[in-house]
Homo-oligomer: A and B are copies of this chain.
Amino acid sequence: MSAKPGYVIGVDGGGTGCRVRLSDASGRVLGEARSGPANLCSDFDRAMANVLDGVARAYAAAGLDPARRRNDTAWLGLAGAGVRELARRMEAALEDGLGFARARVSTDSETTAQGVLGDADGVLALIGTGSFFLRRQAGHDRRIGGWGYQLGDEAGGAWLGRAALRATLLAHDGLRQPSALTRALMARHGGRPDEIARFAASASPGDIAALAPEIAAARDSGDPVARAIFDRAVRLICERLDFLGAEAAGKLCLAGGLAGTYAPLLPERLAALLHPPLGDALDGATALARALQAGPRLRAGA
């Protein structure tokens, strides 16, 4: 005697928005939706509202009544979920208040690792606006980095952008050589270093990371300042991949918006390990929701 398995909801949520996918127990996608930002640390109530909005839209897209979710299972990978009490609070709201059979909230690094690597061992470098590095081995994950723009996120887009703006001000002061890149950045701010300082004081990581494509293009055209910034970024990436034992793991995946930028810059010994990601964080959240649904607690209750 076993209950008909319910549907599964996967959520990938961060500072720019949520993606939500509703699937059946076999993995067939029934409906997808997008909603607003969900960073538990920045604004818990807003994150909750946006998650609920996205979930309701996904049921609607599938032509399903969300009231049936008392049989369904959700996995949410959300920015800020490293703060455990916030993650537990959202899980309780989803299970008790909203009646999901089961809901789990994890960091987006966990759903990304699952999406990119699946259940296989390997090393992952996620490099977008921010960055983190992770080794998955025998079901155990070791993550390093990902501590945000102020203190970490080495080689990420915001890190690159800040390095370029710093170089621009050092060149203005005369302490470093200018380049086409620093001249362009200075000209963009009317030739006024105080305007650059003012921009940086209030810019979000995303605002600063918006400079990354321009810095990458400058590097490709031989700009010495851009080359120096990328050389340093690649050194930091290699240090982290070596620390995590990428060569011993034998498999390396790059993901995030700068994956394609960094892949050709890796030394051959690491480039030889590259595998394309299996999927993304939303795939990972869906896979984790399916595993949770199939897991011991639900089976015991069936």
Q: For residue A198, which residue of chain B has the nearest CB?
A: B41
In angstroms, Cα B80 to Cα A198, docked, is 9
A70 at the interface (CB under 8 A from B): no
A138 at the interface (CB under 8 A from B): no
Q: In the complex, which residues 201-228 of chain A have their Cβ closer than 8 Å to any Cβ of chain B? A: 201
- Across the interface, which residues of B come within 8 angstroms of A43, CB to CB? none
The count of identical subunits is: 2
A234 at the interface (CB under 8 A from B): no
Which of B144, B148, B197 is A151 in contact with, Cβ under 8 Å?
B197
- Across the interface, which residues of B come within 8 angstroms of A150, CB to CB? 162, 165, 197, 200-201
Tier of interface size on chain A: 20 to 34
Which of B82, B194, B200, B240 is A194 in contact with, Cβ under 8 Å?
B82
In angstroms, Cα B109 to Cα A193, docked, is 15
- Across the interface, which residues of B come within 8 angstroms of A193, CB to CB? 147
In angstroms, Cα B190 to Cα A82, docked, is 14
- Across the interface, which residues of B come within 8 angstroms of A198, CB to CB? 41, 83
A248 at the interface (CB under 8 A from B): no
- A residues with a Cβ closer than 8 A to B are 41, 82-83, 144-145, 147-152, 162, 165-166, 169, 173-175, 193-198, 200-201, 239-240, 243
In angstroms, Cα B243 to Cα A169, docked, is 15
Cβ contact within 8 Å between A147 and B197? yes
Cβ contact within 8 Å between A196 and B147? yes
Q: For residue A205, which residue of chain B has the nearest CB?
A: B201
- Across the interface, which residues of B come within 8 angstroms of A82, CB to CB? 194
